[in-house]
């Protein structure tokens, strides 16, 4: 070192008040992260609280969104143009009946593309004649017109559907649930209906829009009237029309089916139930969401606690920084940045965890996994809010610390 | 705001410390016409609880001086250093640092003044154990507005200056006590402040390491930096060209020309 070493202008310029330099954003980040780097265990533990809260909320929202998406896609596939007509009640509160001509009348409505009918038959279906009549297993026997499968856009899983020939014979097609309950997996076996054997010729695929068909054993109208004492009155008429004409058809159906007593006719749209379920699935369980919020709150308290301890432990560092020229504002910013980084760490981990849980659950149920972007945005927002709120008090404390107290040995 | 020294001189002259590197410049600290780097007038400090740590201190330090502030424990040395270092405000009296009356400056402005005018060296080094020597020194420039790349460049130069150019990547726990304190000195001088304040810089070191650190301070002084060393080690005090004795919050003795050269080594003092 020589005495001639050139020295640039030093110290303050007289006549001007000293103005502190601004911290660059990158330096704020670095200084905020420096406090985390030296205490990794504590950082992970306090970020974990935030992570659990965020993960819970993301998973709750994600899973219900996935379930909703799945129902909406199903609805899309099944269509919303199916209407069912069933008897209501008479003016005197008795069960009404649909006229036997009802199906013909419905088929005559212009926009109706296809219509078919089922009629409840008063007997049960049993695996053998040795099971008592009273045990029905929740299954019903129904007469069905041969067009039913077309109208419902259903399919056969096993065997065949009723045709012009088999609808006159003691042949039966089982709905998916009925087959399952009866323990029947293949055609050719016989079941006991009324007081005689019927041969199973087909098993249907599931029908989400007509769960009552899934629980039925279906026979032809003619054989039902001939062998099972069926009165020929349909109990449900299924009808599909052009999508745009659904409301118009719905309006004319009661009068068409029963001109004398249109009030005794009930019309409903099976897809409405699915749509309602989809809407309900979208409205996530508020209880779980509340749990996530509580976890998040606890996580925020944990971050605040960590920050307070950090400030107390780092009195000397704070004093040193003040002696190096840090203003109170810069100390405050440092600890706020640290708190924000801490909770952001939890937020990122929680979002990843929640998305993973959503994907795992959805895929295990064959749902399309959906994490709505607004949920991720909300998680980021919540994280920043928590980081700020949790950091304000510790940061103020750090900034208020006197530089000498912070540097004292004691 | 400019506060010219009451004894004379104009605003421009204040804060242009006389240059010890130039032997022709007169740097007599007690010349009222000379601007001082440090000027305390009737400074008192009463701590809450009624402890009178300073009871009317008058002290003027010119640019380029090397002085020791000595006194028994509890005499008020550290308090004085805190007041000079603008880390604490006096209860009474006037404090001027680098030409500024600190009573007229806000906390923000004092911070800026510290960042640019003052370098501190503490008894317990205060290094960040997680950073290597280079980054520890560079951290000293964080609040000066210099970009990071330049900070590290200047830090390397400062470490070179204290003889640690070969230890840039070492962490504090990989350095000896003397080396750690030299890193702390490098941090204090990296921004090239006109005034270095050292509170017991060798208090935690054995005499060999202490000598190393004093050697570095001597070189800095030779390069023109004003240095105040607080110590209760009489040997170190004798080594300094100017010695200010403090007792019970008062200056009881002040002798020597601060711009003089210290003994080349501590050994010269001892013998
Ligand atoms: N923050 C404080 N609050 C109250 N009293 C204080 C405070 N700091 C110092 N003192 C008191 O002020 C007096 C001077 O203290 P100071 O630290 O300046 O002494 P010192 O000369 O540096 O001593 P040492 O050589 O032991 O470091 C002492 O009596 C001390 O107890
Ligand atoms: Mg002391």
Write out the DSSP string of A237-263.
EEEEE-GGGHHHHHHHHHHHH-SS-GG
Q: Whose CA is nearest to atom 24 of ligand 1?
A: B73
CATH number of A81-122+234-268: 3.30.70.100
Which residue pairs, CB below 8 angstroms and at least 24 apart, start in A183-189? A183/A127, A184/A127, A185/A158, A186/A158, A186/A159, A187/A158, A187/A159
Q: Residue A326 pLDDT > 50, yes or no? A: yes
Given 3.30.110.40, 3.40.50.300, 3.60.15.10, 3.60.150.10, which CATH number is that of B30-270?
3.40.50.300
The domain limits of chain B are 30-270
Q: Which of B116, B129, B146 sits opposite A18 (nearest CB)?
A: B116
* Average pLDDT of the segment spanning A199-226: 88
What is the best residue among B79, B122, B200 to mutate for testing ligand 1's pocket, by most ligand atoms within 8 Å of CB? B79
The pocket around ligand 1, CB under 6 angstroms, is made up of B 47, 49, 51, 53, 71, 73-79, 232
Per-residue confidence of chain B (271 residues) as pLDDT tens digits? Answer: 343 333 333 333 333 344 444 333 333 322 334 478 999 999 999 999 999 999 999 999 999 999 999 999 999 999 999 999 999 999 999 999 988 999 999 999 999 999 999 999 998 889 999 899 999 999 999 999 999 999 999 999 999 988 999 999 999 999 999 999 999 999 999 999 999 999 999 988 888 888 888 998 999 999 999 999 999 888 899 999 999 999 999 999 999 888 888 876 555 555 4
One DSSP character per residue, A261-293 reads -GGGEEEE-HHHHHHHHHHHHHS--HHHHHHHH
Which one of B1, B123, B161 has the shortest CB-CB distance to A17?
Answer: B1
Stated pTM of the model = 0.74
Beta-carbon separation of B1 and A15 below 8 A: yes
pLDDT of B16? 39
What residues in B contact A39, CB-CB < 8 Å? none
pLDDT score, position B170: 95
Q: Which of B45, B50, B78, B246 to mutate to test the pocket of ligand 1 (most atoms within 8 A of CB)?
A: B78
**What integer pLDDT is reported at residue B269 of this predicted model?**
56
**Distance between CA A85 and CA A253 in Å, rounded?**
8
Out of B46, B47, B70, B200, give the residue to mutate to test ligand 1, the one with the largest number of ligand atoms within 8 Å of its CB.
Answer: B47
- What is the rounded CA–CA span in Å between residue A86 and residue A279? 26
Residue B268 confidence (pLDDT): 55
DSSP H or E stretch at residue A378: helix A373-400
Euclidean distance between CA atoms B44 and B67, whole angstroms: 21
For the CA of B69, the nearest ligand: 1
What residues of A are in contact with residue B91 (Cβ under 8 Å)?
A: none
Answer whether A331 touches B (CB < 8 Å): no
Structural contact between residues A257 and A117, judged by C-beta atoms closer than 8 angstroms: no
Pocket perturbation via mutation, ligand 1, pick of B70, B76, B202 by most ligand atoms within 8 A of CB: B76
Residue A410 in contact with partner chain B when CB distance is under 8 A? no
- Cβ–Cβ below 8 Å for A23 and B142: yes
Per-residue confidence band for A134, with pLDDT thresholds at 50, 70 and 90: low
The total number of residues written for chain A in this structure: 410
Contact call for A11 and B2, based on CB within 8 A: no
B246 phi, psi to nearest 5 deg? -120, 140
Among A45-54, A240-249, A257-266, A370-379, the minimum mean pLDDT is found in A257-266
What is the share, in percent, of chain A residues with pLDDT greater than 70? 93
pLDDT at position A2 is 40
User: Please, are residues A96 and A88 in contact by the beta-carbon 8 Å criterion?
Assistant: yes
Report which protein residue has its CA nearest ligand 1's atom 18: B76
Residues in chain A closer than 8 A to B187 (CB atoms): 324
Give yes or no for residue A140 having a pLDDT over 90: no
Neighbours of B176 (CB within 10 A): 14
Cα separation, B122 vs B81, in Å, equals: 11
The predicted structure's pLDDT at residue B266: 59
Q: Which two tokens stand for residue B163?
A: 């003889």
Q: How far is the CA of A409 from the centre of ligand 2 (A)?
A: 9
Q: Whose CA is nearest to atom 16 of ligand 1?
A: B76
Query: Within chain A, what is the greatest distance between any pair of CA atoms?
Result: 125
Which 8-state DSSP code applies to residue B174? G
pLDDT band with cut points at 50, 70 and 90 for residue A244: confident
pLDDT of residue B267: 57
Given a contact cutoff of 8 angstroms between Cβ atoms, the answer to whether B34 and B210 are in contact is: no
CB contacts of B116 in chain A (<8 Å) are 11-12, 18, 325
Distance B187 CA to ligand 2 centre (A): 21
Kindly give, in sequence order, each residue whose CB lies less than 8 Å from that of residue A259, ignoring residues fewer than 6 positions away. none
Query: Would you call A324 and B114 a contact, using CB atoms and an 8 Å cutoff?
Result: yes
| A403/B88 touch (CB, cutoff 8 Å), yes or no | yes
* Contact assignment for B112 to A18 by CB distance below 8 Å: yes
For A6-54, how does the pLDDT look when each residue is reduced to its tens digit (9 = 90+)?
444 455 445 578 889 999 999 999 999 988 888 889 999 999 999 999 9
Structure tokens at A217: 């054993």
Q: Which of A3, A21, A38 sits opposite B143 (nearest CB)?
A: A21
- Say whether A12 and B108 touch across the interface (CB within 8 A): no
Task: Give the residue-averaged pLDDT of A209-232.
Answer: 86
Q: What is the pLDDT of residue A266?
A: 81
Residue B110 pLDDT: 94
Hey, is A151 helix, strand or coil?
helix
Give A94's pLDDT tier (boundaries 50, 70, 90).
Answer: confident
Nearest to B17 by CA among A18, A12, A20: A12
Tell how far the Cα of B202 is from the centroid of ligand 2, in angstroms.
13
Q: Which two tokens stand for residue B242?
A: 């100017």
Please indicate whether residue B264 or residue A201 has the higher confidence score (pLDDT).
Answer: A201
Residues of A in contact with B194 (CB under 8 A): 10-11
Instruction: Give the pLDDT of residue A15.
Output: 55
- To probe the interface with A, which of B45, B116, B153 has the most A CB atoms within 10 Å? B116
CA distance A18 to chain B (A): 5
A204 touches chain B (CB under 8 A): no
Give the span between the Cα atoms of B71 and B76, in whole angstroms: 8
A408: pLDDT strictly greater than 70 = yes
Domain locations along chain A = 25-73+281-409, 81-122+234-268, 124-229
Interface test with B, best of A2, A6, A7, A14 (most B CBs within 10 A): A14
The alpha-carbon gap from B268 to the nearest alpha carbon of chain A, in Å, equals 21
């Amino acid at each position: 070192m020589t005495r001639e070493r050139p020295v640039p202008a030093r110290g303050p310029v007289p006549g001007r008040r000293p103005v502190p330099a601004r911290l660059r954003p990158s330096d704020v980040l670095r200084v905020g992260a420096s406090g985390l780097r030296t205490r990794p265990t504590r950082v992970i533990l306090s970020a974990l609280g935030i992570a659990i809260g965020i993960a819970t909320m993301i998973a709750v929202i994600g899973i219900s969104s996935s379930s909703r998406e799945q129902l909406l896609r199903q609805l899309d596939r099944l269509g919303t143009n199916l209407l069912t007509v069933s008897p209501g009640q008479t003016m005197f509160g008795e069960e009404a009946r649909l006229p036997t001509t009802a199906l013909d009348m419905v088929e005559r409505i212009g926009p109706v593309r296809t219509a078919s009918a089922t009629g409840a038959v008063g007997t049960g279906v049993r695996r053998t004649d040795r099971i008592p009549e009273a045990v029905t297993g929740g299954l019903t026997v129904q007469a069905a017109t041969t067009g039913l499968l077309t109208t419902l856009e259903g399919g056969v899983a096993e065997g065949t559907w009723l045709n012009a020939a088999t609808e006159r014979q003691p042949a039966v097609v089982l709905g998916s649930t009925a087959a399952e309950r009866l323990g029947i997996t293949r055609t050719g076996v016989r079941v006991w209906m009324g007081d005689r054997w019927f041969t199973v010729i087909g098993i249907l695929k599931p029908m989400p829009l007509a769960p009552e068909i899934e629980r039925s054993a279906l026979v032809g109208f003619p054989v039902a009237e001939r062998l099972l004492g069926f009165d020929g009155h349909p109990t449900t008429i299924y009808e599909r029309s052009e999508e745009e004409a659904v409301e118009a058809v719905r309006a004319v159906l009661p009068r068409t089916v029963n001109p004398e007593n249109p009030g005794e006719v009930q019309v409903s749209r099976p897809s409405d139930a699915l749509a309602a379920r989809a809407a309900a699935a979208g409205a996530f369980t508020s209880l779980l969401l509340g749990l996530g919020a509580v976890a998040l709150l606890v996580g925020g308290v944990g971050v605040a606690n960590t920050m307070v301890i950090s400030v107390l432990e780092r009195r000397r560092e704070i004093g040193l920084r003040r002696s190096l020229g840090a203003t109170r504002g810069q100390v405050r910013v440092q600890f706020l940045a640290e708190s924000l980084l801490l909770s952001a760490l939890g937020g990122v981990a929680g979002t990843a965890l929640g998305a993973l849980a959503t994907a795992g659950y959805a895929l295990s149920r064959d749902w399309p996994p959906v994490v709505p972007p607004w949920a991720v945005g909300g998680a980021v927002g919540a994280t920043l809010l928590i980081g700020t709120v949790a950091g304000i008090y510790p940061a103020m404390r750090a900034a208020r610390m006197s530089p000498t107290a912070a540097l004292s040995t004691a | 705001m400019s506060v010219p020294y009451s004894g004379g001189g104009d605003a421009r002259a204040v804060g242009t410390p006389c240059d010890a590197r130039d032997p022709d410049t007169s740097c007599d600290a007690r010349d009222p016409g000379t601007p001082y780097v440090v000027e305390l007038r009737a400074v008192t400090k009463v701590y809450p609880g009624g402890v009178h740590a300073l009871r009317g201190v008058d002290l003027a330090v010119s640019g380029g001086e090397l002085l020791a502030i000595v006194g028994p424990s509890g005499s008020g040395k550290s308090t004085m250093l805190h007041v000079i270092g603008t880390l604490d405000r006096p209860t009474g009296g006037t404090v001027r640092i680098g030409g500024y009356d600190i009573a007229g400056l806000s906390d923000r402005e004092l911070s800026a003044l510290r960042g640019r005018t003052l370098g501190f060296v503490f008894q317990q080094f205060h290094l960040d154990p997680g950073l290597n020597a280079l980054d520890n020194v560079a951290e000293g420039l964080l609040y000066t507005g210099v970009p990071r790349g330049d900070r590290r460049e200047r830090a390397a130069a400062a470490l070179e200056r204290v003889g640690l150019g070969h230890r840039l990547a070492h962490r504090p726990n990989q350095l000896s006590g003397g080396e750690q304190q030299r890193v702390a000195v490098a941090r204090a001088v990296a921004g090239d402040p006109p005034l270095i304040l050292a509170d017991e810089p060798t208090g935690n070191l054995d005499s060999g390491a202490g000598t190393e650190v004093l050697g570095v301070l001597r070189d800095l002084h030779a390069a023109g930096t004003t240095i105040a060393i607080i110590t209760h080690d009489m040997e170190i005090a004798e080594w300094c060209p100017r010695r200010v004795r403090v007792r019970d919050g008062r200056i009881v003795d002040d002798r020597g020309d601060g711009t003089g050269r210290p003994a080349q080594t501590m050994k010269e003092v001892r013998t």
